[in-house]
Structure 1
Amino acid sequence: MIPGMPHSDDHRAWKLAASGLVVLEDPPPSDVPTAAEAWRKVVNIETKPVVRVDRSLPDAMDEVDRQWLARAERESLFAEDGSFLVSVAGPGALDGWVSVRWPGSARMASALFHDEGSPEFVAMSADGRVLCAVTTEEYDFWIVVHVFR
C-alpha cells in the first residue's frame, strides 16, 4: 500500500517503483487541485500539447522521458528536495495524489502507463501551481503543461 493514497492497489505501487520514483511517506497537501481536476485539464478536447513525440520513433519512450523532464524543470515542477505529486492512469487515478521524489534517473514513460506502450500520467508541483503530464494520442505521445492560477 502506498502511504497517503486512498484505495491504492498493488499494480500502481508496482508501476511507481518500476519507474524509479521514490514514494514519500508524506501525505499529499490538501490545498492543491485534485487529481480529477488535473486529469480534466489533460484530457480536455481543447488541450494542446507543448511537445509531440512520434510513437513510431525507435527511442520514443526515451524521448518522452527527456522531453517531460525538460518541461518539468522549465516549469519548476520539482520542489527544492525534488518532490512532486503524481497520478497514474487506470483504476484509482482520480482518488488522489501520491507524493514522490525525483531521484534523477527515473524512467516514467516506460513504467507509468495505462495500456502497455501508452504512457499516461499527470505530475503536479507540490504547491499545486503547475502540472506536466504525458498522454497518448493516436500517432503521438503528448507532453501537456498547465499552470493553475
Structure 2
Amino acid sequence: MSLMLLVVLRANARRWNVVCNRYRENGNIHRGGPVRAVRITPNLPVADIGEANGFYQEFLGLQTEEFNLGWVARYTSPESGANVQLVTADATAAADSVMSVHADDVDAAYAEAQRRGYVIVHPLTTETWGVRRFLVRAPDGNVINIVQHRD
C-alpha cells in the first residue's frame, strides 16, 4: 500500500468520525445493531516493551512507534499501515484484552453490549490518556477493548 493511499484512508477515517460526531450531536444516535469498527489492532502480551520492540520494529518493519505509555505501545509500518500493540498489563482494567476494536461510537457499542447481556470486564470510562473505552468478554472468553480516540 502506498504512503499516499494510507494518507487518504486516514483522512477519510477522520472525516467519517467528524460526520458521525455531527450526526450524534443532532440527536441521531445509533440504536442497536453491531459495533461499527473503524480499525482493529491486535494486543500482544509482552513482559517488557523495551526488550520486545526490536523484533517488531526491526524484523517486522513496524518502525513507527505511534505511542508508548510504558505499559502499552503501538508500532506501525510506515508503508502499509499494519500495526500491533504490545501490552505488559492494562493500566486501569483488571483484565488484559486480546485486541482493540476502534469504534466510531463507543457509547452506542457499550449500550449494545449491555443490551445483549455480554459481560462487561471494565466499565465505560474516559481514561486519562485520552480515550473512551470499555472491555467486554466475548462468549468464547476473549476480552476485547472497545475504544474511541478523541479527534
- With the shorter chain as reference, the TM-score category is under 0.3
TM-score by length of 1: 0.25
**Relative to total residues, which structure has the larger strand share, 1 or 2?**
2
Higher radius of gyration, 1 or 2: 2
Using CA pairs under 8 Å that are at least 6 residues apart, name the structure with larger relative contact order, 1 or 2: 1
TM-score by length of 2: 0.25
**Relative to total residues, which structure has the larger helix share, 1 or 2?**
2
